[in-house]
Amino acid sequence: AQKADKRSSDLGAEAKTRKEALQAWLRELKQCSANAGEIQKVTRRKDTDGILSVVAKMTRALPTETHSSFCADLIAGFVRNRNDVMLRRVQHDLRLLRTARRQLALVTFGKELTDWDVGNQRNMYQLQKVMAEGVSGVRGIPMSDFEMSDDYTQRLEEVQIKAIDPVLRLAYEIPSIFAEEVNTKKMFPPEHDERPVGKLQ
């Protein structure tokens, strides 16, 4: 009788453990669905900080056991696979956002230089200000720790930086070119120079 009672107690404990495991994974399934909806919202808003906030929820530790519960095993496999798919998609979306912002920063930098060149405040101080803000805007779009954890994203970032650096190095020469132009105009005033130096293009 004691053995039967003990066996019954053990079976009851196992059933309780499996039930708790199933409930834990059901909560994870609910959270996974909520994360998917939230990711879509913040991605549409192009909200990088919001995306990374959801990523933090997705990358936290999941339960480690299913305790031989068939249903818990199925749900656990689904949650893990869906998380992996969503995280790969997030990596892709973050790459696109960062690339678009960098391109916009380059376009803005070029426009500011053009505005300076054709404007009324064409002096070294304004040029240095445009240069500092422009270069900072282009370089100030870093990768997040989450993005750096992906090898492909890192390699793509290196390719983009190598493509941008020559452009920025050329831009750094603009102040010296402008200084030469100013000095030339001082030495050969336009009223005495048959070929006055034109504005930078």
Is the confidence at residue 7, as pLDDT, over 70? no
Tens digits of per-residue pLDDT, 36-51?
A: 999 999 999 999 999 9
The sign one gets for the Cα dihedral 22, 27, 28, 33 is positive
**Which phi and psi (to 5°) does residue 200 adopt?**
-65, 145
Domain extents for the chain? 2-192
Task: For tokens 């992996």, name the residue.
Answer: 84
Tell which residue, 3, 8, 62, 11, has the closest CA to residue 32: 62
Q: What is the pLDDT of residue 159?
A: 93
pTM assigned to the model? 0.76
* Whole-number Å distance between alpha carbons of 116 and 106: 15
Percentage of the chain modeled with pLDDT above 70? 88
